[in-house]
Structure 1
Amino acid sequence: MADHSIKGKVVLIAGGAKNLGGLIARDLAAQGAKAVAIHYNSASSKTEADATVAAIRSAGAEAVALQGNLISAGAVETLFADAVAAVGKPDIAINTVGKVLKKSFTDISEAEYDEMAAVNSKVAFFFLKEAGKHVNDSGKIVTLVTSLLGAFTPFYAAYAGTKAPVEHFTRAAAKEYGARGISVTAVGPGPMDTPFFYPAEGEDAVAYHKTAAALSSFSKTGLTDINDVVPFIRHLVSDGWWITGQTILINGGYTTK
């Protein structure tokens, strides 16, 4: 019987320096992970990456921060190679990388579309590919998507549309990697109370999102709190291993599928 506990496991988190990714890194270290490798995109996130590394080490785990822009297959290959060299082959691989664009369909430029597709679809595809090559048997792979995959809404064609392929990537990877005991899932949080959310939204939209979930009145901000998402990630990469090939929307009743 495979060991599905987090204790003693090696973790790789793309986008693991701050916000939800940083909290997941801290949490898994606190749950007894042996080592956590976190990725961050640019030098502007180095301070947060260093703080997350320090927190992981304080929890008793090994930690390393790896910088890179992952929008090429080679960059994702390098990330996995560097992580393996630094802390060993991962048992858990989590991709939180994403980019939001809220804009009218007719105003989205080709350059904007290409960037959204690169960050939200291409990175996810090659992360899943490299995870399939490097994650240990009975491992866990999770990709962050969005609850907008369950919405009927304007202005998010480029964002939700370039996250949508991850559902298909997840199902294919789950089937292909299942023979090795690896579970593969996608997690779609609702609008989260992080700096990732606010720049894309106007005041009216923020006010709407803060009341749109069925449980909004019981949330501190009305939005999805990253602290409420982390326990689900923890479950999926441990005792929840039997869930695979699925997209799980964690949003307090903001959308459903």
Structure 2
Amino acid sequence: MSSSKVAIVTGSSRGIGAAIAKRLAGDGLKVVVNYSGSASAAAKLVDEIEKAGGHAISGQADVSDPNAVRRMFESAEAAYGGVDVLVNNAGIMKLAPVAQFEDAVFDQTIAINLKGTFNGLREAATRLRNRGRIINFSSSVVGLYQPTYAVYAATKAAVEAMTHILAKELGSRGITVNAVAPGPVATELFLDGKDQSTLDRIKQMNPLGRLGEVDDIAQIVSLLAGPDSGWINGQVIRANGGVV
């Protein structure tokens, strides 16, 4: 892709988001590394991208705050002249049975996973240049209906609904809107607190016998953000190695 293209990747100071930012920078895009509180991690990633020959800036924004998201887009436009790609990766996963789910955690999950995605979509709908790309993040748990995942899965199901609808609303401008729904991915956050027997059990649930890697997901985002995906629109790609 031409280096004139610009991508905002939310929640990209670590984990899957960081892998996506690095991959898109490697593809030739100028990247805005969004973070909420991890300024040092974002700065380190920007430095890594720049040293590898790419172009990146950091952009602080709590995605649940519409004004902060607006300012992030404005900063990207001031630095690079416009925005072509939005990757809505930022999110949290707090788990508990419905009967035990606390109001504050419910509100936080809705604010970040659902409203945060919506805030990005609303700005992108008016700011993205024609033939742009929007990639949202859902989760394969939407279709698994596992205990303790009710609120998290509900926010991701809502993201999928918005994906399908916005794809129709923006189609006349050549902007595609898709979602990636990963299964378990071996990030630091996912691995933390899990013993080897738990990890082995999760791996055995997968036909390919392993956890996903961050690069597995970054490769899919690279395709959806690139020039070869113009006929992929309004889709949810369940990137999980075959877990159903």
TM-score (norm 2): 0.93
In 2, Cα distance between equivalents of 1:16 and 1:153: 27
- The RMSD of aligned alpha carbons is 1.7
Cα separation, partners in 2 of 1:199 and 1:113, compared to 1, 3 Å: farther
**Which range is displaced more, 193-202 or 59-68?**
193-202
In 1, Cα distance between equivalents of 2:39 and 2:46: 10
Deviation at 1:61, TM superposition (A): 2.9
Cα separation, partners in 2 of 1:197 and 1:105, compared to 1, 3 Å: same
SS at match of 2:86: strand
In 2, Cα distance between equivalents of 1:121 and 1:202: 31
Q: Which residues of structure 1 form unaligned runs of 5+?
A: 217-221
Q: 2:120 aligned to 110, 121, 127, which one?
A: 127
The answer on whether the counterparts of 1:16 and 1:40 sit within 8 Å (CA) in structure 2 is: yes
Deviation at 1:180, TM superposition (A): 0.3
Moved over 2 A (4+): 5-8, 58-62, 198-208
CA offset digits 1:167-220 (Å, max 9, x no partner): 11111111111100000011011111012223576776544322211112xxxx
Cα separation, partners in 2 of 1:254 and 1:204, compared to 1, 3 Å: same
Q: Which residues of structure 2 form unaligned runs of 5+?
A: none
The answer on whether the counterparts of 1:140 and 1:182 sit within 8 Å (CA) in structure 2 is: yes
SS at match of 1:250: coil
SS at match of 2:96: coil
Q: 2:173 aligned to 169, 180, 193, which one?
A: 180
User: Which residue of the partner structure matches residue 242 of structure 1?
Assistant: 231
2:240 maps to a residue whose letter is N
Determine whether 1:60 maps to 2:53: yes
Cα separation, partners in 2 of 1:30 and 1:164, compared to 1, 3 Å: same
Determine whether 1:105 maps to 2:98: yes
2:17 maps to a residue whose letter is G
The answer on whether the counterparts of 2:25 and 2:56 sit within 8 Å (CA) in structure 1 is: no
User: Which residue of the partner structure matches residue 227 of structure 1?
Assistant: 215
Determine whether 1:171 maps to 2:182: no
Determine whether 1:36 maps to 2:31: yes
TM-score (norm 1): 0.89
Cα separation, partners in 2 of 1:127 and 1:146, compared to 1, 3 Å: same
SS at match of 1:17: coil
Q: 1:251 aligned to 230, 240, 243, which one?
A: 240
Q: 1:193 aligned to 183, 186, 189, which one?
A: 186
User: Which residue of the partner structure matches residue 219 of structure 1?
Assistant: none
